[in-house]
Chain A
Amino acid sequence: MTRSTDGGLLSSQEAAERVAASLKKRGRSERRFQYLGIAAITCSILFLVLLFTGIFSKGIPGMFQHYVTLEVFLDKNRMDPQGDMSPDSLYTGDARGLVNESLMSALGNPEGRKAKRAARSILSSSSPSRLAEFAVKHPELIGQKVAVKFAVDDDIDSFMRGFISRETPESDRRINNQIIEFVDRLNQASLISYEFSDYLFSGSASRDAEIAGIKGALIGSIWTLGVCLLIAFPLGVATAVYLEEIAPKNRVTEIIEININNLAAVPSVVFGIMGLAIFIIAFGMPRSIPLVGGIVLALMTLPTIIISSRAAIRAVPPSIRDAALGVGASKMQTILHHVIPPALPGMLTGTIIGMAQALGETAPLLMIGMVAFIVDVPGGVTEPATALPVQIFMWADFAERMFIQKTSAAIIVLLAFLITMNAGAIILRKKLERRW
């Protein structure tokens, strides 16, 4: 039955026509929206690919370096002046002389001071201590002739990678013709190898790129994150539980809530300044220690943990609380037995994400002095340390060509940690997630 057009109503035929017309328009705008979305996603994937190719193309080579294999005769008398095979004795022995002798013999015993100096500059300055270390690890090999791999100096490494060109005039080159000749000679004898850098994970901060590693920074990061976790997790969960379950909903709690949300948006460097002012200047705690770093990062992470924990608590249906109260559980029993357990996965997810955030944080650590040049691996939370992102920041500042590669290699390690942590959070959420 067709309605008449009186009273402002259209006939059904007319209405159908208009609907068809508007449908076309709607379809167009929906398609437009779709294309926009696809374009956005393509764009971000492109950037991600660019980022990763950039980092990996520099970082993967940064994990490798060139070594020279030398036959060294481990002369007992010279290696071990005290004669007791103790590390003390081995480190004070004449490892330098032994390394030099075998290097010279590998190069055909060049004559002249200049040539000898050129030959010595091929090896990393850390080579004698590497030999001593080798002797400490393998005391049974003393008195024999063994093949030991020594890292080449970072300039030689640059040359081997083609960053230093032979065509450059000698005066503009960091290595002279004599050195190049020696390197060629070693190369022809296939004594130079290119392999995974054992300094990257076992070495600490150093001015020499070839022996610089991230061990100290990594351990420092672990100490710092440990402190951060120990403070932020209990504090964050307790705050979330209090605000969600116990606190009355009034103006005060509302203000606290707003401030926590605002705190999540405060730039991290501000937390660093606050840490400097409160913990180091006011409380007189030492600079550069993981304890202070951990506290500062905990303050920075707290909002993330609180917000995600509150969301997790809110996701526990009220009917479960009613059920517990209904059988006579007290408020604390209800919270401890029935609210926190199902909310825990969500809380942990938020915590892991907060920790990952803290792991990548540089600015606050700079403010509290964790940017110092620290060679020793920190043995505790009160020993001077640096952290992985700060190490990257420092390396990026060094002029040597090889540090650029080391920086990228360290970034890969940092990214690997971050991705592992985030993946862990996702797996945890998927695994423990409960549907009501």
Chain B
Amino acid sequence: MTDEVIDIKPMDFQDREVPDETVGEVHVKNPRMTARNVSVYYGDKLAVDNVTLDVGTSEVIAFVGPSGCGKSTLLRCYNRMNDTIDICRMEGDINIDGDDINDPKIDVVSLRARVGMVFQKPNPFPKSIFENIAYGPRIHGLAKDSVELDEIVERSLERAGLWSEVKDRLDQPGTSLSGGQQQRLCIARAVAVGPEVILMDEPCSALDPIATAKVEELISELRKQYTIVIVTHSMQQAARVSDRTAYFHLGKLVEVGETNEIFTRPAHRLTEDYITGRFG
């Protein structure tokens, strides 16, 4: 009887052995972004351990795994957001359409225009809704005149499914919107600069279920035009929105594969334990 009690307790994943080899196919036919032997350190601490992974064109790939597994850190490597952290250091190569993103010749500003990002907490600028969207196009000089800028703003909001809700109050502050609307505003802001890839770092963790459903619906819409990498804590969300799923554990990429494969027939014991809720 006592044995059973111990079994039900969530297992301490720290004790588990993590394999060196990734299970499943890390390569895809037409990759948009490729990561080769990527390791990331925070000071001396290894956060991402030798990860090799392709992100295919126009696919939605979900990064899942327990807290501290390095999935967000890897995500932030794709647009070099980790540059803002002094002690963070990256090894290995990441390419976008064959260009090395860490090449000194590549301006990080242009990289971030190609690889947009949506953050965990909705973070609209404390400016009007219009200004929130117009800011990116303006600094990148995407619009020749104000008519074009208006068009970009409208298109972006339409694409984020927000236009009908906000078209009459574009001059109101972005922070006056509800949490879900704010997050969609942030997505529209990312879309406005015409990226190829959109990174989403747990975009629904601060939202209620209805707002979450709307954002998920939006992701399904956006997959037609953009490559989306989404980090999520919700297994159901990964199952609902993604084409492929990558499972991370202690900085290592344990398993990657088609989402329905991963959720129905996980190949690795760790993946199985995690998605069935044994730990995490």
Interface residues on A, range: 20 to 34
Complex Cα spacing A253 to B108, Å? 26
Docked pose: A329 CA to B138 CA in angstroms: 10
Say yes or no: is B37 at the interface (Cβ < 8 Å to chain A). Answer: no
- Closest partner residue, chain B, to A327 (CB atom): B136
Query: Are B126 and A434 interface neighbours, CB within 8 A?
Result: yes
Contact of A325 among B112, B118, B175, B190 (CB under 8 A): B112
**A327 and B190 form a contact (CB under 8 A):** yes
Q: Which residues of B contact A321 (CB under 8 A)?
A: 84
Chosen A-B contacts, 17 in total, with CB atoms closer than 8 Å, are A317-B123, A319-B121, A320-B123, A320-B126, A322-B119, A323-B124, A323-B189, A324-B135, A325-B84, A326-B79, A326-B119, A326-B190, A327-B116, A327-B135, A327-B139, A328-B109, A328-B113
Q: Cα distance A436–B123 when bound, in Å?
A: 9
A272-293 interface with B by 8 A CB criterion: none
Q: Report the contact-size class of chain B (Cβ under 8 Å from the partner).
A: 20 to 34
Q: State whether A322 touches B123 (Cβ < 8 A).
A: yes
Interface positions, chain A 395-436, Cβ under 8 Å from B, are 434, 436
Alpha-carbon distance A317/B112, docked complex (angstroms): 20
* Residue positions of A touching B, CB distance < 8 A: 248-249, 317, 319-330, 333, 337-338, 342, 434, 436
User: Contact at A249–B125, with CB atoms within 8 Å?
Assistant: no
Ranked nearest first, the 5 interchain pairs of A and B with the lowest CB-CB distance are A327-B136, A319-B123, A328-B112, A326-B117, A328-B113
For residues 73 through 116 of chain B, which have their beta carbon under 8 Å from a beta carbon of chain A?
79, 81, 84, 86, 109-113, 116
B152 on interface, CB distance cutoff 8 Å: no
B-side contacts of A248, CB under 8 Å: 86
- Tell me if B36 counts as interface (CB < 8 A to partner A): no
Q: Do B123 and A327 touch across chains, with their CB atoms under 8 A apart?
A: no
Instruction: With both chains docked as a complex, state the minimum distance between the C-beta of A59 and any C-beta of chain B, in angstroms.
Output: 45
CA of A249 to CA of B43, assembled, Å: 14
In Å, the complex CA distance between A336 and B189 comes to 19
A248 to B83, alpha carbons, bound, how many Å?
A: 12
CB distance from A236 to the nearest CB of B (A): 24
Whether A325 pairs with B81 at a CB distance below 8 angstroms is yes
Say whether B126 contacts A342, CB under 8 Å.
yes
Which residue of B has the minimal Cβ distance to A250? B86
Chain B 155-170 residues near chain A, CB threshold 8 A:
none
Which residues of chain A come closer than 8 Å to B125, judged between CB atoms?
Answer: 320, 323-324, 338
CB distance from B30 to the nearest CB of A (A): 25
Q: How far does the Cβ of A58 sit from chain B's closest Cβ, in whole Å?
A: 49
A327 and B110 CA atoms in complex are apart in Å by 10
Cβ-defined partner of B116 (8 Å) among A320, A322, A326 = A326
Partner of B193, one of A317, A320, A328, A333: A328
Task: Classify the secondary structure of A's interface with B.
Answer: helix
Indicate if B140 sits at the interface (CB-CB under 8 A).
yes
Query: Could you list 6 further interchain pairs (A-B, Cβ under 8 angstroms) beyond the known A319-B119, A328-B109?
Result: A320-B123, A325-B81, A328-B110, A328-B139, A434-B126, A436-B175
Q: Which one of B112, B121, B126 contacts A326 once the chains associate, using CB atoms below 8 Å?
A: B112
Using an 8 Å CB-CB cutoff, how does the interface string of B119-152 with A read, 1 for contact, 0 for none? 1010111100000000110011000000000000
Closest to B132 in A: A323
Complex Cα gap A321–B112 (Å): 14
Residues from chain A with Cβ under 8 Å of B81 in the complex: 322, 325-326
Contacts of B113 in A (CB 8 A): 327-328
Q: Which residue of A lies closest to B114 (CB)?
A: A328
Report Cα–Cα, A237/B190, bound state, in Å: 31
Question: Within 8 Å CB of A317, what residues of B?
Answer: 123
Partner of A329 from the list B109, B111, B118, B124 (CB cut-off 8 Å) is B109
With contact pairs A328-B109, A328-B112, A328-B193 given, residues A337 and B135 touching in the complex (Cβ less than 8 Å) = yes
A-chain residues with CB within 8 Å of residue B121 when the two chains form the complex: 319
Q: Are A328 and B86 in contact (CB-based, < 8 A)?
A: no
A319 to B183, CA, bound (A): 13
Q: Which residues of A contact B190 (CB under 8 A)?
A: 326-327
Flag whether B186 is at the interface (Cβ < 8 A).
yes
B residues near A328, Cβ cutoff 8 Å: 109-113, 136, 139-140, 193
Residues 201-233 of B, flagged 1 when their CB comes within 8 A of A and 0 if not, give 000000000000000000000000000000000
A330's nearest neighbour on chain B, judged by CB, is B109
Query: Which B residues are CB-close (under 8 A) to A322?
Result: 81, 84, 117, 119, 123
Closest to B123 in A: A319
On chain A, the residues within 8 Å of B79 by CB distance are 326
| A249 surroundings in chain B (CB, below 8 A) | 86
Whether the Cβ atoms of B119 and A327 lie closer than 8 Å is: no
Cα distance, A338 to B127, chains bound together (Å): 10
Looking across the interface, which residue of chain A has its beta carbon closest to that of B110? A328
Central interface residue in A248, A319, A333, A342, by most chain B CB within 10 Å: A319
A253 to chain B, nearest CB (A): 11
Interfacial chain B residues near A338, Cβ < 8 Å:
125
Would you call B123 and A323 a contact (CB within 8 A)? yes
Q: Which of B86, B121, B125 has the most CB of A within 10 A?
A: B125
Alpha-carbon distance A436/B122, docked complex (angstroms): 11
Report A295 CB to chain B, min CB distance, Å: 35
What is the CB-to-nearest-CB distance from A81 to chain B, in angstroms, rounded to a whole number?
70
Instruction: Report the separation of the CA atoms of residues A326 and B203 in the bound assembly, to the nearest whole angstrom.
Output: 14
User: Which B-chain residue is minimally distant from A321 (CB atoms)?
Assistant: B84
Question: Whole-angstrom distance from the CB of B38 to the nearest CB of chain A?
Answer: 20
Q: Which of B79, B126, B190 has the most CB of A within 10 A?
A: B126
Question: For residue B120, which residue of chain A has the nearest CB?
Answer: A319
List B contacts of A319 (CB < 8 A): 119, 121, 123
Least Cβ distance of A85 to chain B in Å?
61
Q: Which residues of A lie under 8 Å from residue B116 when comparing CB positions? A: 326-327
Cα separation A434 to B121 with both chains bound (whole Å):
18
> Closest chain B residue to A435 by CB distance?
B175
CA distance A319 to B116 in the complex (A): 15
